[in-house]
Amino acid sequence: MTKTYTAFSGVKNVASGPLDQVVSTIKDQLDSDDWPQVLIFDDATGRQIDVDYHGPINPKAESGEQTEAAQPRRVGRPKLGVVSGEVTLLPRHWEWLKSQPGGASVTLRKLVEDARRGGAQQAKASQEATYHFMTSMAGNFPHYEEALRELYAGNQSAFHQHIEDWAVDVKKYMKELSSTAFTEE
């Protein structure tokens, strides 16, 4: 799955998509428009990233990702994306894992995937992404602290009420980031 990013100039959303596309859009506009400041956010984490606009566009270098050739070779099944690691369990845990269909590795992968899909973890990640973006973009907006409290309290309607008067693009992006932060009311 391709990581996506969103760029803001002031409070206006100016680009969204894969990093190379966002950086290209910004580079094309920097010379022709008078953008006061451009901030780029990782859509998965809400964290701001830094990009060097000088020279060629190289999103892997800018985002800190290593190219496939630069990554060290690891033990496992690389074509399947499997990486080996160490797990320390009690003997009774190993016995239970061995008795499961598919063996220990299959069972552990299923348990991890089930846990990752869990609503609590997804809600927490959504809250954190919203928090990081809010801190960067809306820290001095009216009702910032109240909105933040409602985000962590899980009160969606109060959260949306506190951000109602904020800039349209900022509010829209925050609603996207927080879409899984709240349990059903």
Taking the C-alpha atoms of residue 166 and residue 172, their distance in angstroms, rounded to an integer, is 9
| pLDDT given at position 95 | 87
Q: pLDDT tens for residues 46-98?
A: 999 998 777 666 544 444 444 444 455 555 555 666 677 788 888 888 888 88
Sequence-distant (6+) residues with CB within 8 A of 182 are 123, 154, 155, 156, 159
Choose among 47, 78, 49: nearest CA to 62. 49
By three-state DSSP, how is residue 38 classified?
Answer: strand
| Tokens read off for 94 | 């190993």
pTM: 0.66
Dihedral sign for Cα 74, 79, 83, 84, please: negative
| pLDDT given at position 63 | 45
Alpha carbon of residue 107 to chain centroid: 27
